[in-house]
Structure 1
Amino acid sequence: MDMQLNTNNAQVARFPKGLPPRRSQPVPKHETLALLRLGNLLHTNLSSPWVIEQFYRESHKPVGYTGLIYQYPGENTGFSHGVLGGHNCSYDLVLNGDYLGSLDLYKAQGFSDNDLVQVEHYLHVLLHPLRNALLFQKAQDRAFRDHLTGARNRAAFDSDLIVEIELAHRHNHPLSVIVMDIDHFKKINDSQGHNFGDEVLKYISQAAQEVIRGGDQLYRYGGEEFVVIAPHSALDGTRLLAERLRLRIYEQNYGGIQGLTLSSSFGVAQLRDNESASELFVRADQALYAAKHNGRNQVVA
């Protein structure tokens, strides 16, 4: 098990980037029991955010650090816990050659050698559960990905919407959903062929990804219908987002075919108190139906 270490105490790098020196101090009995409990706990869940959160909860007091930042490039995985700032030590986590991300620990006072020994004891417990969680996350992402457009698929939407609604209700923040449908898409398939229709769907997915915010998520719900989950977004702001999406789709250049423009219709709904996922989606879908009934190429909220 390899860990690359860089510490920054009072802006002085105490160790160069690379493998830390081997630390041979025996683990105290009370710490051994705490590490065993932590290892058992971390192996009970395959969510990498949960694993990192529990690692922080169980280790920051015994070790004496105040906060951490975890980042895993390429997987949209990055989060922090506790109080950041002051002195820090940084680890690149590697297990049997597999890169598991970077972890920065923060402390008001500098990290002593004994602190770093204890940090590494806890980090070695973290590595296997974290690798398992990341492998599960990758497999789940493949299962939840629409292979044509690269957007997440309907199964992912059904799962993610339940989670986002629980978070919105728990933390009392707004949550909105956009349902969008490409107008008269069947004519594209009939006149240009299904292969070209597939390319158009890729263009639309890419254009939508460029318009939505960093915290939003795009899904291909089925056929030419897409959905956006917009956390922390109230109705008015989400309506404006849908309007930007509508304009972008209308102005998109689709494979260089002269004169080809596509319009799209949108339904928007904001989560209400005690509303379920199915109830929220039905209201957004009804708004989409109203947009189509009213002449298409518009947003209804």
Structure 2
Amino acid sequence: MANTLHSHSDEQTAESFIFEEPASPSYRQQGQGHDALSSQDLQLHISQLLQTSLELEKVLHLFHSELQQHLAIDSLGYRNEEHSIVLNYGNSRPHSCHYSLQINSSQQGDLILTRSKAFSSRELNFIEGLIGSLVCPIRNALLYQQAISAALKDSLTQIGNRAALETALEREVSLAKRHQHPFSLLVLDIDHFKQINDRYGHSAGDMVLKELARSLSLCCRETDNCYRFGGEEFVLLLNQTDSEGCQRIAERIRHCIEESVFTIDELIIKTTISIGTATLQAQDKTFELFDRADKALYLAKQQGRNRVI
């Protein structure tokens, strides 16, 4: 499979380079020089080394470390706008070469190498040969990262799912206790959601869930984290938030949803939410904190809905 590498440096204009997967030593033709053999051996060695990890940072660190053994460079940078990734190794210098990494026209990011001294044409050719061993491991690492992210995301609302919540809640409770910071959580539920499904259909119910998740993200602070716990139930983790702040945020969210109008296929749907709150106590276990918020939600439902307890 051929891969395309677009490159430019401070000494040359942009060009396109086509390279193949590193060949096995058994396919070398007789009569090649020592440099060509060493280059093929090195490409194969790096290719095998980079295939040992599916973590992008480790793949790039391994490549950077290996490249430094054969070429004087001061920094390696990687950018991927699609995945919002920016990684840097070393200190940037004035002279640079920039590579746009692609596989079958699929963008895999950009690689930037810098140093104090300009790169020669021979050095650029050497780098391009080694980058041929890097593109596939980067693609595999990105696919792995996507799979992990998808496993922790609710497919309907595109916010964190229950598995992501459980991991995050354990982490945040541990951090809050260690640093003695206040921490609270909200458990909220859409009032009379079954009636929405019965009256407008399940597709309309799904749209309400999606719009509610979007509204929650807009109503929350940037430091708050929102998850779909299951069905029409959502959970918000409130960092650096005491009991008073928790009540204030919950009331603001309740009011925000009460004032919202969801328009779905020309249907106008209004809904409300009930919210249970809880603030971490020193002796709390994670499940005890969650249970308190869940019981508070039950009371809010019992006392008439569209309220905060």
Change (3 A) 1:26 1:285: farther
Report whether the alignment pairs 1:262 with 2:277: no
Deviations 1:17-56 (A, max 9, x none): 331599x993684x77665554333212223343234434
**CA distance in structure 1 between the partners assigned to 2:215 and 2:161 by the alignment:** 17
**CA distance in structure 1 between the partners assigned to 2:14 and 2:296 by the alignment:** 59
- Post-superposition offset of 1:4: 0.7
Q: Secondary structure at the match of 1:235?
A: coil
Report whether the alignment pairs 1:286 with 2:280: no
Deviations 1:239-268 (A, max 9, x none): 587666545433322127668242342546
1:26 aligned partner: 35
**CA distance in structure 1 between the partners assigned to 2:181 and 2:271 by the alignment:** 34
**CA distance in structure 2 between the partners assigned to 1:215 and 1:53 by the alignment:** 30
Change (3 A) 1:249 1:115: farther
Report whether the alignment pairs 1:16 with 2:13: yes
**CA distance in structure 2 between the partners assigned to 1:229 and 1:69 by the alignment:** 34
**CA distance in structure 2 between the partners assigned to 1:175 and 1:116 by the alignment:** 54
Matches within 5 A, 1:225-240: 225-228=233-236, 233-235=239-241, 239=246
Q: TM-score, normalised by structure 1?
A: 0.68
Change (3 A) 1:62 1:145: same
Report whether the alignment pairs 1:82 with 2:89: yes
- Post-superposition offset of 1:269: 6.0
- Post-superposition offset of 1:129: 1.2
Matches within 5 A, 1:114-193: 114-158=122-166, 178-184=185-191, 185-190=193-198, 192-193=200-201
1:94 aligned partner: 102
Deviations 1:160-219 (A, max 9, x none): 667x67x969x9898968453224234544554433322110101222344557787643
Larger radius of gyration: 2
Deviations 1:80-138 (A, max 9, x none): 23345433322110124332112223334444445434433432221121122223334
Match among 5, 8, 29 for residue 6 of structure 1: 8
**CA distance in structure 2 between the partners assigned to 1:141 and 1:50 by the alignment:** 18
2:258 aligned partner: 250
Q: Is this contact kept in 2: 1:174–1:271, CA < 8 A?
A: no
Match among 65, 69, 89 for residue 73 of structure 2: 65
Q: Secondary structure at the match of 1:2?
A: strand
- Post-superposition offset of 1:147: 2.9
Match among 29, 51, 68 for residue 59 of structure 2: 51
**CA distance in structure 2 between the partners assigned to 1:38 and 1:168 by the alignment:** 39
Change (3 A) 1:94 1:21: closer
**CA distance in structure 2 between the partners assigned to 1:168 and 1:63 by the alignment:** 43
**CA distance in structure 1 between the partners assigned to 2:15 and 2:223 by the alignment:** 34
Letter in 1 for 2:54: L
Change (3 A) 1:34 1:203: same
Q: Secondary structure at the match of 2:14?
A: coil
**CA distance in structure 2 between the partners assigned to 1:215 and 1:115 by the alignment:** 46
**CA distance in structure 2 between the partners assigned to 1:216 and 1:228 by the alignment:** 7
**Structure 1 residue runs without a partner (length 5+):** none
Seq. identity, %: 27
Letter in 1 for 2:233: E
Q: Is this contact kept in 1: 2:187–2:297, CA < 8 A?
A: no
2:26 aligned partner: none
Letter in 2 for 1:286: R
**CA distance in structure 1 between the partners assigned to 2:251 and 2:85 by the alignment:** 30
Greater mean deviation of Cα atoms: 200-209 or 218-227: 218-227
**CA distance in structure 2 between the partners assigned to 1:20 and 1:43 by the alignment:** 23
Q: Secondary structure at the match of 1:200?
A: helix
Letter in 1 for 2:227: Y
Q: Is this contact kept in 2: 1:269–1:284, CA < 8 A?
A: no
Q: Secondary structure at the match of 2:59?
A: helix
- Post-superposition offset of 1:71: 2.9
